[in-house]
């Protein structure tokens, strides 16, 4: 059917903005010199990279020398965890602390570090809204702890963590603190110094820059083992010929983000709240997952619907032209319920019946109204065909 194209999956990826595309174009075929070459033509490429490094650094109150370009948020996460643990193991620091609701780029890396290299990993629980208790972090730290890695905001349910308090505890305990800010960096004002962040991962395609580019902030003075080996790029800390156009695009995206973030998020958060209120008012036994208000990412709506499968709802929404998700795009092919929702305490049947809508620059208020018109009809129709819904009604009669 697809009467409309309503894109509500900005957490999965975003389109490259026209301004970013325009900034990138010369670096594909006009200014294409290898930044590591010594002749004058390549100096233009080097200058473009350093400009982008400054743009990214300025967005987070970091120094340009603290920004290292990578291929993705996943690479940045891997580098932060593996590089820190490898660097500090000779000092007896063999313990990693993270949470149960991290992105798989963190969880699978932690699993690898434990199974293959024998490092100890503590997975902290979260409350019913997906929030880590800073005191749990304090209590988990011991004399072998090398790193605490807690995501800035959850990609599925949108809950923003108490990052500043966690950073204070880590600084007090002299333990390094990394945060995966892949979702948060596109939606929140972040000051790495004020928040006591030692390392932070970001990804370009979540903020209207291209896929295949990311960055890792590493506070001055922190040493990591290199994740990639080869040439001397990125101050000899990340080998591989630089993705010149992608780096320029990331820098331009960050520059744009700084100028329009507050206005965008005011508008988008009001639509988020309108959708949440509409869903809870129009659909019986719908449940909001995650935190509310200012403790939630401005663009995130995650709701569960008892008696229906989220995958079925997605297909129905797609037929009506609405693109959404059942959770993380990296896990969308899995039939298992979301590890995030289970960690929040949801039962399997509720976790299976969840949908995530994430708003962005493509969203209009007409899209919001259309979703609230279509979704209640879809849920009601699917419930009429669902034996799970019948059983639920009988048990609650």
Task: State yes or no: pLDDT of 2 exceeds 80.
Answer: no
**Mean pLDDT of all residues belonging to the chain:** 95
The share of the chain scoring above pLDDT 90, in percent, equals 89
Task: State yes or no: pLDDT of 335 exceeds 80.
Answer: no
Which residues form the catalytic set?
330
At residue 330, the pLDDT reads: 55
> pLDDT tier at 328 (50, 70, 90 boundaries)?
very low
| Among the listed residues 205, 259, 233, 251, the one whose alpha carbon sits nearest the alpha carbon of residue 48 | 251
Q: Say which range, 16-25, 37-46, 122-131, 162-171, has the weakest mean pLDDT.
A: 37-46
Q: What span, in angstroms and rounded, lies between the C-alpha atoms of 25 and 33?
A: 14
> pLDDT tier at 327 (50, 70, 90 boundaries)?
low
At residue 51, the pLDDT reads: 98
Parallel, antiparallel, or unpaired: how do β-strands 176-180 and 120-124 relate?
A: unpaired
> Angle between the 244-282 and 365-384 helix axes, to the nearest 10 degrees?
60
Task: State yes or no: pLDDT of 390 exceeds 90.
Answer: no
Q: What span, in angstroms and rounded, lies between the C-alpha atoms of 395 and 397?
A: 6
Q: What is the mean pLDDT of residues 375-379?
A: 98
Task: State yes or no: pLDDT of 106 exceeds 80.
Answer: yes
Q: What span, in angstroms and rounded, lies between the C-alpha atoms of 341 and 346?
A: 6
Q: What is the mean pLDDT of residues 377-381?
A: 97
Task: State yes or no: pLDDT of 343 exceeds 80.
Answer: yes
Burial of 164 (0-12, 13-18, 19+ CB in 10 A): middle
Q: What span, in angstroms and rounded, lies between the C-alpha atoms of 356 and 278?
A: 15
The DSSP call for residue 262 is H
Task: State yes or no: pLDDT of 372 exceeds 70.
Answer: yes
3-state secondary structure 173-233: HCCEEEEECCCHHHCCCCCCCCCCCCEEEEEHHHCCCCCCCEEEEECCCCCCCCCCCCCCH
Upper half-sphere CA count for residue 257 (Cβ side, 13 Å): 27
Q: What span, in angstroms and rounded, lies between the C-alpha atoms of 237 and 241?
A: 12
At residue 334, the pLDDT reads: 56
Write the pLDDT tens digit of every residue in 153-192: 999 999 999 999 999 999 999 999 999 999 999 999 999 9
The share of the chain scoring above pLDDT 70, in percent, equals 97
Q: What is the pTM of this model?
A: 0.95
Q: Say which range, 57-61, 261-265, 389-393, has the weakest mean pLDDT.
A: 389-393
Task: State the CB neighbour count (10 A cutoff) for residue 235.
Answer: 8
Q: Name which residue leads in pLDDT, 392 or 243.
A: 243
> Can you tell me which residue has the tokens 């083992």?
225
> Angle between the 40-59 and 244-282 helix axes, to the nearest 10 degrees?
30
Q: Name which residue leads in pLDDT, 205 or 397.
A: 205
């Amino acid at each position: 059917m697809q009467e409309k194209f309503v894109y509500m999956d900005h957490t999965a990826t975003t389109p490259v903005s026209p301004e970013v595309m325009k900034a990138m174009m010369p670096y594909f075929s006009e200014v294409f010199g290898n930044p590591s070459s010594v002749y004058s033509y390549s100096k233009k490429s080097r200058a473009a990279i350093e400009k982008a490094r400054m743009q990214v650094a300025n967005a987070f109150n970091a120094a340009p020398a603290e920004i290292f370009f990578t291929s993705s948020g996943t690479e940045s996460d891997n580098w932060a965890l593996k590089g820190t643990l490898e660097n500090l193991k000779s000092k007896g620091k063999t313990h990693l602390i993270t949470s149960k609701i991290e992105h798989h780029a963190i969880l699978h890396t932690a699993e690898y570090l434990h199974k293959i290299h024998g490092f100890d990993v503590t997975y902290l629980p979260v409350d019913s809204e997906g929030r880590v208790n800073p005191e749990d972090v304090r209590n988990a730290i011991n004399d072998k702890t090398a790193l605490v890695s807690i995501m800035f905001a959850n990609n599925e349910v949108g809950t923003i963590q108490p990052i500043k308090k966690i950073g204070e505890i880590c600084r007090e305990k002299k333990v390094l603190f990394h945060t995966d800010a892949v979702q948060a960096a596109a939606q929140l004002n972040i000051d790495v110094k004020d928040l006591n962040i030692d390392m932070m991962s970001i990804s370009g395609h979540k903020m209207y820059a291209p896929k295949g580019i990311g960055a890792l902030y590493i506070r001055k003075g922190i040493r990591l083992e290199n994740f990639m080996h080869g040439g001397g790029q990125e101050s000899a800390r990340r080998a591989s010929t630089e993705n010149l156009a992608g780096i320029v695009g990331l820098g331009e995206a960050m520059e744009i983000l700084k100028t329009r973030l507050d206005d965008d998020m005011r508008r988008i958060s009001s639509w988020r709240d309108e959708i949440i209120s509409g869903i809870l008012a129009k659909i019986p036994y719908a449940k909001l997952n995650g935190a509310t208000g200012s403790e939630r990412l401005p663009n995130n709506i995650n709701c569960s619907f008892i008696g229906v499968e989220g995958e079925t709802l997605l297909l129905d929404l797609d037929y009506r032209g609405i693109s959404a998700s059942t959770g993380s795009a990296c896990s969308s092919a899995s039939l298992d319920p979301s590890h995030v929702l289970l960690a929040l305490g949801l039962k399997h049947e509720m976790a299976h019946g969840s949908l995530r809508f994430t708003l962005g620059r493509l969203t209009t208020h007409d899209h919001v109204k259309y979703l609230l018109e279509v979704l209640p009809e879809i849920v009601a129709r699917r419930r009429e065909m669902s034996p799970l819904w019948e059983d639920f009604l009988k048990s609650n009669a």
